Amino acid sequence: MKAKIMGAGSYTPSKKVSNAMLEKMMDTNDEWIRTRTGIKTRHISEGENTSVLCGKAALDILEKAGISAKEIDFIIVATMTPDGLSPSTACLVQDYIGANPVMAFDVNAACSGFIYALSIAEKLIQSGSFNYGLVLGGEVMSKIIDWQDRSTAVLFGDGAGGVLLGASETESSFLGEDIHSDGSRGESLTAGSRFVSNFQIENEMKDSYLQMDGRSIFDFAIRSVPESIRTVIASSNSTLEEIDCIVAHQANYRILKAIAKKLKIPVEKFATNIAEYGNTSAASIPILLDELLTNGDLILGSKKKIVLTGFGGGLTWGSMLIQL
Ligand SMILES: O=C(O)C1CCN(c2ccc(-c3cc(CO)ccc3Cl)cn2)CC1
């Protein structure tokens, strides 16, 4: 059995927060944010948690694909900002969309989460035991950010997106993958740490806000992402010239320019929407993919070759070569 991408969708909170609005909240300015990150606005939840953003994105996928929630055989949510430890956000999405009591689980690989989830979902479809699966990436980054820390508060946004995978006897959308982690550098981006405190040991509760060593993450991305993109293309005997578009995690526009330079390709090969959404972690790739399919830049069935690539906390990084 082969796995095919059969649709996409997304949902972002209606509240748009501009750089000018952030200038009034903290010591930052529009010029710095735009020139250092490429971000102009971001969508910030006014109370909708991750499961609701993902649920609304899932309903968008189902409506566009013309299938019922009752036809879904599994739900995977990639998130580093779950509603809570239990129930999983995926279980809450199962309830939200009215799916049958099917397999539903979360994957936490930070900004590479959607790549990890898509890889897992492909294998589930290939097993022949599942016909349709929803693969979602969703975040409410605004709930883990220290809004007094200008070095991180201006970077992130909230949102959700995803794809519908379906079983096909003849066609696969997946041509290759290259997926990694390196826990030895995990301290470069942390959030929500929980320390052992019980009747035997007292541990102070350190800040559980998102903390990032921007320089080290930047350097890691510039070193590891071009290599991953080259590896995934070579793994399917394709060439960089055959790639129509690179849909990369929207972390920072200067990162995309640096990766393009290392690959010796024009930065225009990289689709981008960071200006509007900021860094939405595991949601950034599916939100951008849905935007490209919705505006006709990409068309399912066109046979175009696309590279999806995520990178971030863990550290994690991963690329997939897909054919639409
Ligand atoms: O001073 C400056 O220019 C600052 C320098 C620091 N910056 C950074 C640094 C790292 C990231 C980032 C984050 C993730 C997590 O999703 C993944 C991948 C990356 Cl590369 C984003 N921005 C902003 C501008």
Render each residue's pLDDT in the chain as its tens digit; 324 residues.
999 999 999 999 999 999 999 999 999 999 999 999 999 999 999 999 999 999 999 999 999 999 999 999 999 999 999 999 999 999 999 999 999 999 999 999 999 999 999 999 999 999 999 999 999 999 999 999 999 999 999 999 999 999 999 999 999 999 999 999 999 999 999 999 888 888 898 887 766 999 999 999 999 999 999 999 999 999 999 999 999 999 999 999 999 999 999 999 999 999 999 999 999 999 999 999 999 999 999 999 999 999 999 999 999 999 999 999
- Longest Cα–Cα distance of the chain, Å, equals 61
pLDDT in tens, 55-89: 999 999 999 999 999 999 999 999 999 999 999 99
CA-nearest residue, atom 22 of ligand 1: 252
Q: Tell how far the Cα of 187 is from the centroid of ligand 1, in angstroms.
A: 14
State the amino acid at position 247 in one-letter form: V
| Any atom of ligand 1 within 6 Å of the Cβ of 252 | yes
pLDDT score, position 206 = 67
Cβ atoms 23, 317 nearer than 8 A: no
pLDDT for 203:
81
Which helix (H) or strand (E) covers residue 49, if one does?
none
Residue 121, both tokens: 């979902």
pLDDT tens for 211-241 read 999 999 999 999 999 999 999 999 999 999 9
Nearest CA to ligand 1 atom 13: 251
CB 249 within 8 A of CB 284: yes
* Active-site choice (249, 252, 273, 295): 249
Residue whose CA is at the smallest distance from ligand 1 atom 9: 214
| Residue carrying structure tokens 């826990």 | 183
Pick the CATH number of 174-323 from 3.40.47.10, 2.40.50.140, 3.40.50.300, 3.50.50.60: 3.40.47.10
What is the domain partition of the chain in residue ranges? 2-168, 174-323
Q: Does 311 contact ligand 1 (Cβ within 6 A)?
A: yes
249 is an active site residue? yes
Please tell me the predicted confidence (pLDDT) of residue 146: 95
Domains 2-168 and 174-323 alike in fold: yes
Enumerate helices (H) and strands (E) in the chain, giving the number of each: 10, 13
Q: What is the CATH number of domain 2-168?
A: 3.40.47.10
Give the per-residue pLDDT at 98: 98
Q: What is the pLDDT of residue 193?
A: 87
Question: What does the alpha-carbon distance between residue 19 and residue 93 come to, in Å, rounded to a whole number?
Answer: 32
Residue of the CA atom closest to atom 24 of ligand 1: 36
Answer yes or no: 279 catalytic: yes
Cβ of 243 less than 6 Å from ligand 1: no
pLDDT at 36: 97
pLDDT score, position 136: 98
214 ligand 1 Cβ < 6 A: yes
SS3 of the chain: helix, strand, coil, percent, to 5: 40, 25, 35
